[in-house]
Amino acid sequence: MTQKYYNDGLHIAVATVMEHGLPGFEFFIEADGKEIWSGMDLQTHYPEILKQYPDKELLINWRSFPVIWV
């Protein structure tokens, strides 16, 4: 498990990544109660999302789901 940080001076995001992928999870970002982004690479997309929604209050959360190997 690793933790990745993003800090632009105003916002801080922390991502905990399970290296083996079990269970699966993804981050999602909401603005005005609507999901505007989801994925694993929050630290890559977060700066661009802040530029796209400069006046919005963003909710960053995560969800998990079981991974079934077949």
Look up residue 17 and give its two tokens. Answer: 């990544």
pLDDT of residue 25: 83
pLDDT in tens, the chain (70 residues): 555 555 666 666 655 555 555 677 889 999 999 999 999 889 899 999 999 999 999 999 998 877 666 5
pLDDT of residue 13: 60
Q: Extract long-range pairs of 59-62: CB within 8 Å, 24+ residues apart.
A: 59/29, 59/30, 59/31, 60/13, 60/27, 60/28, 60/29, 61/27, 61/28, 61/29, 61/30, 62/25, 62/26, 62/27, 62/28
pLDDT of residue 24: 78
Angle at 28 between CA 40 and CA 46, to 5 degrees: 70
pLDDT of residue 30: 95
Is the pTM higher than 0.75? The answer reads no
